[in-house]
Amino acid sequence: MEEKYRNLIETTETSEVIFHGKVFDTIVKTVTLADGKSAKREIVVHRGGACVLPVDDDLNCYMVRQFRSPFEKIILEVPAGKLEEGEQPLVCAERELLEETGFVADEIIEFGPMIASPGYDSELIWLHMATGLTKVGQRLDEGEFLNVEKIPLKELLAMAEDGRISDSKTQLCIYKAAGRLGI
């Protein structure tokens, strides 16, 4: 760490798990700030996830539309899911591509991770693009309901720009894919 940033460091004094769940844990930390004062931090601890934008040879993308309970609405997203214990992000992306869209890919390009919400959440979401698609059949998890929609990448860019797509991982995947493909 560069010396000029040392004044930004917080030191953890205590950490307590206050909720342990299937998808995430919640901890409360007591930290000492750079000025010596004490503060509390409430943090969601999440093992992370992976998403993948499937793009065919004609630059059409295969998106999923599903109900999202926190917002009480249906949202258009890239296929995505949480990492299983010890699972690598690329393996998760391949698994979610097959489960949610029914495609396997000749190539999956890794775009790297994004921090979902750094103020309170430890989740990293690994971004990918899949090409060379072959349809083999959807394999949804039990209790998973979604529709797959074929949408041209140029239209997805417009949808991200005008707010019709508001999910951050989806926006970033679209922008990264468009840049990679020279759109």
> Which residues are known catalytic residues?
142
Q: Decide: 114 and 124 in contact? Cβ < 8 Å.
A: yes
Residue 115, sorted as left (phi over 0), alpha (psi -120 to 50) or beta, turns out to be beta
Local structure of 113: helix, strand or coil: strand
Rounded Cα gap, residues 102 and 128, in angstroms: 16
Q: Decide: 28 and 16 in contact? Cβ < 8 Å.
A: yes
> Torsion over CA of 135, 139, 144 and 149, rounded to 10 degrees?
0
Q: Tokens 């790297």 belong to which residue?
A: 112
